[in-house]
Structures are given as C-alpha cells and as structure tokens.
A and B are shown apart, each in its own frame.
Chain A
Amino acid sequence: MEHLLNLLIKSIFVENVIFAFFLGMCSFLAVSKKIKTAFGLGLAVIFVMILTTPLNYLILRYMLGEGALTWVHASLATVDLTFLAFILFISTIAGAVQLVEMVVEKFTPALYNSLGIFLPLITVNCSILGTSLFMQEREYNLVETAVFSVGSGIGFFLAIVLLAAIRERLRYSNIPQPLQGLGIAMIITGLMGLAFLSFSGIQL
C-alpha cells in the first residue's frame, strides 16, 4: 500500500509528466492562456489517461508481450509481438478518445460544449502515449499502472492550471517585447520545474 502511495506522489510531483519529461508541452503551452480552458483540458486529460493506460496494459499483457498469446493456444507461447506496440497503443488512444467524445456528447452536452476542440486533440497529446510507454518500459503491474495513470493525469492537470494562473497575472507585467508570449512561458515552466524538484526524496 505504501509502495502505491509513493508511486502516486512520485508521478504527481517528482516525475511530473511536464516538468520532468516535457510530455504534452504543445497543448500545455497553447491552452494555458486562461484558467477556465486549462481546467477543462486538464480534466479531459485525466479522464482519458485513466481510461487508456490500463487498457494498453491489458493489450500488452494479453496480446503483444512475449508469451502473451499462450491463453489462445499453447503453441503461441514463443510469439513476441512487442514491436507492434506503438501502432496498437496509438490506435487504442485514438479509439478511446473517439468513444469518450461520443459518450460525453450524448450524456452531458454541457461538458461537451465546454471542452470543445480539446477533446479530439488529446489523441496527439504526448503525455497520454508517454504514460503508456513508460508503463511498458518500467514493467508495472495492473494496479501500479492504474495508480501511475491517475498520478500522471493529476500531474498534468496541476501543471497546466498553475501555469494558466501565472500567465493570467503576467498580462499586467512589463516583459521585454521579444520575450513576451512563448519565451517567458518557457522560462516560467522551467522555474516551476525547479520548484517541483524540491519534492524529490519524499518517501512515505
């Protein structure tokens, strides 16, 4: 149990998808101009991440990994399809996002309208695919995968809402012209990353 809590804290703060690995930077920078939209995107990312990463785990475990197909027939025990991981992972994500979009549109049109274009764009958000690939590389089991995906999602949410809050204030400050916009956003992200580094070493 402690081990899982540690993993959660580590994935939210210490190894934050944005500050430690720069995953999902595109939407992070593009959508962080207002807190409200940042909030919506953050929630959508958490949702899709929790849905797709365990799904990808199951695909990896029961379809792709070495010996994963043993449950179909004993003679398939030596088949190793891991090289197909990229294609299947991205298809799962694209499919899941499409599904989520349809469900949300059907049952909660209000939420659908507020998320707008961000929902389909999540497909190409690196943090989603990145979480799945980290799950593969670090060989987590199903429970760990679920905890890790929750943590990564919350980490992204936290980061994007914080940056949006800072950028809303920035509008009133006097920044050199060439540094405005993208430049200062980068440097602020770096400073926030430094702040988040101070969480490293926290153990329960």
Chain B
Amino acid sequence: MSVETASAPVIEEKKKEGLFSKKNRRVLTDPLDDNNPITVQVLGICSALAVTVQVKPALIMAIGVTVVTAFSSLIISLIRDSIPGRIRMIVQLIVVALLVTLVDQLLKAYMFDVSKKLSVFVGLIITNCIVMGRLEAFAMSKKPWPSFLDGIGNGLGYGVILVVVAIFRELFGSGSLMGFKVIPQWFYDMGYVNNGLMMLPPAALFVIGIYIWIQRSRNTKLVNVS
C-alpha cells in the first residue's frame, strides 16, 4: 500500500469503474443517514454541539472534522500493517493530533475571528470519538481508498447534524442565517420575538433529540439500536 495507489485514482476518478463502485458509494453515503455517526452510532456528540449557536462556525467545524477524519483514516490505513497492536491507540492519537494541529494553525492564520469563536473545540477534534471510532472500526482493517471515503462520509454525516442544529438555533434564536437577517423587520413589529432558549446550550440537545425521534419514526429499523 504505497501512497501512489491511494492518490493516483483520485485524479482519474471518472474513468475507472471500481473507484465509485456500488460498494464504495455505500461506504460514502451510508453515514449520511442509515449509519449516521451521531444519531445511530452514538459517536462524537462530544464538544462540537457547543459550536452550533450559529451556522458559520458549525460549517467550519464540520469541514475541519471531515478533513481530519478523512486524512487520518487514509494515513492510518496506509501504515496499518506496520503499527504494533499494543500501542496502536497512541499512534492513532499522534496522527490525529498532528492533523488537528495543522487545521488549528490554518484557521488561526486565515480565519482568526472564527478560530476565536471555536475556541477550544478545534483542539477537541482529537478526542472526538468519530475519528478514533472510524480508525478502529474501519481504517485499521481496510484499504486506503475505502478508508478515505469512509472518513469523508462520516465527517459529512456529522456535519449534516451540526449544520441542521445550527440552522434551527440561529434561525429561531437570532432570526438570521450565516449572519444575514432572514426574518423581516415587519414580522418583529407584529410582536414576534427571538426565542432566547435557542441561544442556550440545552437547546442543541433538544433539537438533536427531536431529530433522532423523527429519523427513527421514518426509519423503523433504527429503533432499538441503542
């Protein structure tokens, strides 16, 4: 498993059949709904819900987690044969910590205000269970390309939840989306007030609890998962 086998296919992804074969597509799309890391696998609820007060930080956080999950899966999968079993946790942690440090430094360099808003939560991607969970469950035993897809899929599945929660909280909490006013002034004049509860941390839990409720009512095979 050299680096070439993993990176060469990316360039000519349309021509080769096997790359986006049905199996690989499933690896990519499953985590978006049926096997969502947050609502079904119960991984990675930690930390990041705290950044869902507004859409923009949530979006950036989602991208950060996707990048870290995808590339740590790729790297771990590439070196999986040479990691001694007993210390694999430490090796995984170091790889993840390295990638998170890169993301953090990039954010600090190019988006300082967002980086301030995310505060410690970028660093907490290291202990995000999604990253470790996918490394243990998938990347340690699969080839680099599917691992990479799996990482992207899980990162996106996580991002979807984060952004949905953030949309609800920002829309109802401050009447805007991505910082732009959405709810018009005449609506406020008629007596509408922003829902202050949505700005408080517990609101994220309510929104996600209701999301799980809706998802499981629609998709009954998910009931009794946990």
Contact A130 B124 (CB under 8 A): yes
Interface presence of B185 (CB below 8 A): no
Known A-B contacts A19-B201, A86-B104, A130-B124; the reply to A181 vs B224 at CB < 8 A is yes
Interface contact A190-B42, CB-CB below 8 Å:
no
**In the complex, A176→B123 CA distance in Å?**
37
Main secondary structure of the interface of A (DSSP, over half): helix
B11 touches A (CB below 8 Å): no
- B182 close to chain A: CB less than 8 A: no
Kindly state the separation between the CA atoms of A184 and B226 in the bound complex, as whole angstroms.
11
**Are B46 and A94 in contact (CB-based, < 8 A)?**
no
Q: Which 5 A-B pairs have the closest CB atoms?
A: A190-B205, A178-B216, A186-B209, A193-B202, A133-B120
Q: Which residues of B contact A197 (CB under 8 A)?
A: 200, 202
A176 and B210 alpha carbons, distance in the complex (Å): 12
B116 to chain A: closest residue by CB: A137
- Using CB atoms, name the residue of chain B closest to A124: B127
Interface residues of A in 11-54 (CB under 8 A from B): 19-26, 29-30
Closest to A196 in B: B202
Query: Nearest-CB distance from B207 to chain A (Å)?
Result: 9
Does the CB pair A87–B94 fall under 8 Å?
A: yes
Q: Chain A 171-192 against B: per-residue CB contact (8 Å), 1 yes, 0 no? A: 0000011111111111101110
Q: Do residues A126 and B224 form an inter-chain contact, with CB atoms below 8 A?
A: no
Contact with A along B125-139 (1 / 0, CB 8 A): 011110010000000
The yes or no answer to B119 lying at the interface (CB within 8 A) is: yes
Expressed in whole angstroms, the minimum distance between the Cβ of A49 and any Cβ of chain B is 13
Say if the beta carbon of B90 comes within 8 Å of chain A: yes
Are A21 and B47 in contact (CB-based, < 8 A)?
A: yes
Q: Return chain B residues, CB-CB under 8 Å to A186.
A: 205-206, 208-209, 212
Q: Are B206 and A29 in contact (CB under 8 A)?
A: no
Residues of B within 8 Å of A187, CB to CB, are 205-206, 209-210
B137 CB to nearest chain A CB (Å): 14
Which residues of the partner chain B approach A124 to less than 8 Å between Cβ atoms?
127, 129, 132
